[in-house]
Amino acid sequence: MRELKILVVVLFFTAVVYWGVEPFAHSQMHPHVAPADFSFKDLGHTVGKGDFIKGEELVQANCVACHSVKSVGIQSAMSESDASLAYGVVPPDLSNAGLLYDPAFLSAFLKNPAKAMLVEHKFDQTRTFPMPSYDWMSEDEIASILAFFHSIVKPVSDKALYEEACGRCHDMKYDKTMSPSDKAALTAYMGTLPPDLSIMIRAKSDEYLSTFINNPQKQLAGTSMPRVGLTEKAQNQVISYMEKVGDRKKAEREDLGY
């Protein structure tokens, strides 16, 4: 009888732990993460119809000191090595900006880059974001810049999109693709050297990568990795390239039912 009472007590507390404590602990250790938001609702930006000719003039006047637009023959005033040392990372070429970035994100980014990229916690009055805010521009001017970017868009490969979205900071050694940014300057800028992404596709789940690329803060609060602002199509192309490099046997496994 005594053993039966002990068993009942043990079963009772086991049930309390299993149905009460364990779900709570799981919710704390693995909190729910909202899915990727490709409309960037938190930015509250809408984009009007701009004049792409005026947009090209604005890009020539305001962007080419740091950025190139190689597809239309616009070269940056700075070399990649000089820009990397000055800013910590090589500024992107803007040839495919209209394909890579969501218009609402890009509009908000031009107004306040650090806020749009969710890295305001990294910068203050003593350490400013490398790219200046263009909050003095009118909505029509910003819409015109975006119209110019969209007017020069051409289809590009998954690898090319990856290189523009991720490759300025991250290496992909399995594909012999290395970041052009100076490693010491990049480490100082980011706080740590961004990891090689060769096998990241196997280290993280599809859901994790989708939400992390869309908004790194959802999965790793306080991280210095910026929100890039990719469209859903561009992000899918980036992930597709990562799969081709880091998980070449995925299609074969799926065909076999694994």
Q: Is the pLDDT of residue 25 over 60?
A: no
Q: Is the pLDDT of residue 250 over 50?
A: yes
16 falls within a domain: no
pLDDT classification of 48: cutoffs 50, 70, 90: confident
125 falls within a domain: yes
Question: What would the mean pLDDT of 78-96 be, rounded to a whole number?
Answer: 95
Round to whole Å and give the CA distance between 230 and 166.
Answer: 11
186 falls within a domain: yes
Cβ atoms < 10 Å from Cβ of 87: 18
Q: Is the pLDDT of residue 64 over 80?
A: yes
18 falls within a domain: no
Round to whole Å and give the CA distance between 87 and 79.
Answer: 12
The CATH number of whichever domain residue 131 belongs to comes to: 1.10.760.10
* Alpha-carbon distances of 160 from 20, 102, 194, 211, rounded to whole Å: 50, 17, 19, 21
Between CA 180 and CA 188, with CA 184 as vertex, the angle to 5 degrees is: 110
pLDDT at 13: 57
Show the domain range for 75.
Answer: 43-255
Round to whole Å and give the CA distance between 241 and 201.
Answer: 10
Top-ranked range on mean pLDDT: pick from 11-15, 25-29, 171-175, 219-223: 171-175
Round to whole Å and give the CA distance between 30 and 23.
Answer: 10
33 falls within a domain: no
17 falls within a domain: no
Q: How many structural domains comprise the chain?
A: 1
Q: Is the pLDDT of residue 11 over 80?
A: no
Average pLDDT across the chain, whole number: 88
Q: Give yes or no for a contact between 190 and 169, defined as CB atoms under 8 angstroms apart.
A: yes
Locate all alpha helices (DSSP H) within the chain, ordered by sequence: 2-16, 22-29, 52-62, 80-87, 97-100, 103-111, 113-116, 139-151, 158-165, 183-190, 200-203, 206-214, 216-219, 232-246, 250-255
In sequence order, the 6+-apart residues with CB closer than 8 A to the CB of 162 are 172, 237, 238, 241, 242
Burial of 130 (0-12, 13-18, 19+ CB in 10 A): middle
pLDDT classification of 28: cutoffs 50, 70, 90: very low
Could you tell me which of 81, 80, 229, 90 has the C-alpha nearest to residue 170?
Answer: 90
The amino acid that residue 50 corresponds to is: G
Question: What would the mean pLDDT of 129-151 be, rounded to a whole number?
Answer: 96
30 falls within a domain: no
Residue 194 is encoded by which pair of tokens? 């961004």
8 falls within a domain: no
pTM for this prediction: 0.83
